[in-house]
Amino acid sequence: MLNFRQICVLFFLIEGVIYFLLRGSDVLFPVLFLVLFAYLILFFFSMRLTSNFYLKAKNSAKKGCVVLGFDDGPSPETTLKILDILAEHRAKAVFFLIGKNAIQYPNIVREIINRGHLVGGHTLNHSANFGTLNLTRAEEEIMGGINVVEGIISQKITLFRPPFGVSNPVIAAIIKKNDLEVVGWNIRSYDTINKDTKKMLKRITDKIKDGSSILLHDRVQNTVEILPDILKDIQNKKLHICPEIDW
Ligand SMILES: [Zn+2]
């Protein structure tokens, strides 16, 4: 299967062949534009997991519920604080763990499980070029991360969330082969980039409703600060915070 770089090379080759075959013709530029447009559409959807274009992701909670998904942990500074806040509100969540972090902090991984939360994979290294890897390397990243966490908790993991929400035919093939369930979201908190916690909280609580699935990061101090208010908002709306994955 082609990786991102090979697809780019193929695109330029196709454009080159079209130019060679149609040069001098009136339809040359419309055809070149159409191919470019198709390429941009495919690229756009590769960055949008929640569009379900390349693979089907579970993007919302089951009826009556709100799901909290925490990515990128475990983190020694913040994950335990998040666990304490969740315990105060009797809330359960799903933690999508990075394998290399789990290797460093296995006790936090065990604590997540001991407190009744679910865990999913989030690759071994959370590589910035995850979306461009070939089949072999992408599988090493996805299953490498899952195998590390499975080894720590002695439980099978079936949930996976791709870093940056990328999806493509390579990732879709690995998900199918390994019988994984991909979990997306329908509320993005932007907690890793937003500095204004008040604005961030309002943005999230304005959107919380029946079936919401919120993307958060347990490595972020901002998230620790706003989590109690998110939980209160969910409870005020008489919704349940469910970690179940039959949504
Ligand atoms: Zn991530």
pLDDT per residue, tens digit, the chain (247 aa), is 666 677 778 888 888 888 888 888 888 888 888 888 887 887 777 767 777 777 889 999 988 899 999 999 999 999 999 999 999 999 999 999 999 999 999 999 999 999 999 999 999 999 999 988 999 999 999 999 999 999 999 999 999 999 999 888 899 999 999 999 999 999 999 999 888 999 999 999 999 999 999 999 999 999 999 999 999 999 999 999 986 655 4
pLDDT of residue 244: 62
Distance, CA 192 to ligand 1 centroid (Å)?
A: 10
Distance, CA 172 to ligand 1 centroid (Å)?
A: 18
Token couple for 100: 């290399």
Amino acid identity, position 156: K
pTM, full prediction = 0.85
- Do residues 35 and 41 make contact, with C-beta atoms less than 8 angstroms apart? no
pLDDT of residue 247: 45
Distance, CA 121 to ligand 1 centroid (Å)?
A: 10
Nearest CA-CA partner of 185 in 68, 46, 92, 62: 68
Distance, CA 233 to ligand 1 centroid (Å)?
A: 25
Distance, CA 84 to ligand 1 centroid (Å)?
A: 22
- In order of 1, 142, 201, the CA distances from 151 in angstroms are 29, 15, 36
Distance, CA 69 to ligand 1 centroid (Å)?
A: 11
By three-state DSSP, how is residue 57 classified?
strand
pLDDT of residue 64: 86
Choose which CATH entry (3.30.1450.10, 3.20.20.140, 3.20.20.370, 3.40.50.720) describes domain 54-241: 3.20.20.370
pLDDT of residue 206: 97
pLDDT of residue 50: 73
DSSP 8-state class, residue 25: S
Nearest CA-CA partner of 213 in 49, 68, 64: 68
Distance, CA 185 to ligand 1 centroid (Å)?
A: 13
Nearest CA-CA partner of 156 in 113, 209, 193: 113
Please state, in angstroms and rounded to a whole number, the distance separating the CA atoms of residues 94 and 116: 10
Distance, CA 9 to ligand 1 centroid (Å)?
A: 28
Distance between first and last Cα of the chain: 31
DSSP 8-state class, residue 165: G
pLDDT of residue 214: 96
